[in-house]
Amino acid sequence: MIQITNIQKAFGSNQVLKGIDLTIHKGKVIVILGPSGSGKTTFLRCINALEIPDQGVIAFDDGSLTVDFANKPNKKTLLALQRKSGMVFQSYNLFPHKTALENLTLGPVIVQGKSKAESRTQALALLAKVGLSDKADLYPFQLSGGQQQRIGIARALAIEPSLLLFDEPTSALDPELVQDVLETMKQLASEGWTMVVVTHEIKFARDVADHVVLIEDGKVVEEGSAEQMFELSMHPRTQAFLQRIES
């Protein structure tokens, strides 16, 4: 379990996150919803220190790591937090001058100190996992957006993280390419990966999420199971948001 408490983040005078709490249970899928500008992506980036919160605590219940941002953690602590999670970005963020295989082997070799041979074997297995074994030697410009995003998912898996973070992973894709990425994510969920997903894909959230969180104006408006949020919620803001996004 990962306990996240009172995450706050400001950019200048703009208080983007106003004290967000979240409990992440191992093997569960959490979907974060919210309108544009609500702070959901900033919160996701705070979980693995791509953005450094001003306040708040992230604690792993196995005792392996606790980060108190109020005490300005050092680079070693932040790096340890980043190694706990794999991030999948909206815009793929693959190295354009590296092949699909090379994109997957860089992290394990440089960050984890694995041998090139071991990393290659692992990378080939991950490419097979996301259905792209035949694309190992292709460069990002030779791949569709959906294929690039699946490479991005495989790259996140390559560092063997405790947590997978997805920042609107289908938002940059043409509609016909979305399903392949969502199917890959569903497969990971069925395998028991712990996932936090920022998305507007409501059907995916209904089908896969164990817990749904609605964030607006830097605060949690409501949270609960998929059924509680999508079928039973009486909160007017949740109802208004879902009505707008599903219309």
- For 57-115, what is each residue's pLDDT tens digit? 999 988 889 999 999 999 999 999 999 999 999 888 899 999 999 999 998 988 788 89
**Residue 173 carries which DSSP code?**
S
The Cα-based distances of 25 to 62, 84, 115, 214 in angstroms read 12, 14, 32, 18
Work out the end-to-end distance of the chain between its first and last CA atoms, rounded to an integer number of angstroms.
35
Question: Distance between alpha carbon 93 and the CA centroid of its chain, in Å?
Answer: 14
Question: Is the per-residue pLDDT at 232 higher than 80?
Answer: yes
Domain ranges of the chain: 93-153
- Taking the model in full, what pTM does it have? 0.94
The alpha-carbon radius of gyration of the chain (Å, integer) is: 18
* 145-193 confidence digits (pLDDT tens): 999 999 999 999 998 999 999 999 998 888 888 999 999 999 999 999 9
pLDDT at res. 46: 97
Q: Give CA–CA dist 49/46, Å, rounded.
A: 5
Instruction: Count the alpha carbons within 13 Å of 14 in the hemisphere toward its beta carbon.
Output: 7
Percentage of the residues of the chain whose pLDDT score is greater than 90: 83
The confidence band for 127, taking pLDDT boundaries of 50, 70 and 90, is very high
What whole-number distance in Å separates Cα of residue 79 and Cα of residue 180?
Answer: 32
